[in-house]
Structure 1
């Protein structure tokens, strides 16, 4: 476990429309990646395994998800 505080990052591809998620990859050394809604910075976070997050990013990069 780490005592490091999460540093939240928003994708550079996010437009400032407010529909964004943020990720705190700096604490991924714990084996988990926290994700949150950028509009709810004090709200709940979703934590996924580093493997699951890596698979998600690979899927995004490969275009396996549709656009809205």
Structure 2
């Protein structure tokens, strides 16, 4: 056994490095997909309830035994 083989014999054979390029993005798989970025915004445009809506009060009104 040579010196070089002795050093590599005890190492893990799996490559643990990360990929430097990302060739398979979602846009590549589904180029005509709907853009859903608007759903990630936290703004009044995406909230269907009025600004004075109180979730806690509405939950108290629910009839859980029904």
Work out whether the TM-score is over 0.5: no
Q: TM-score normalized by structure 2? A: 0.26
Q: When you count helix as a share of all residues, which structure comes out higher?
A: 2
More contact order relative to length (CA 8 Å, sep ≥ 6): 1
Higher strand share: 1
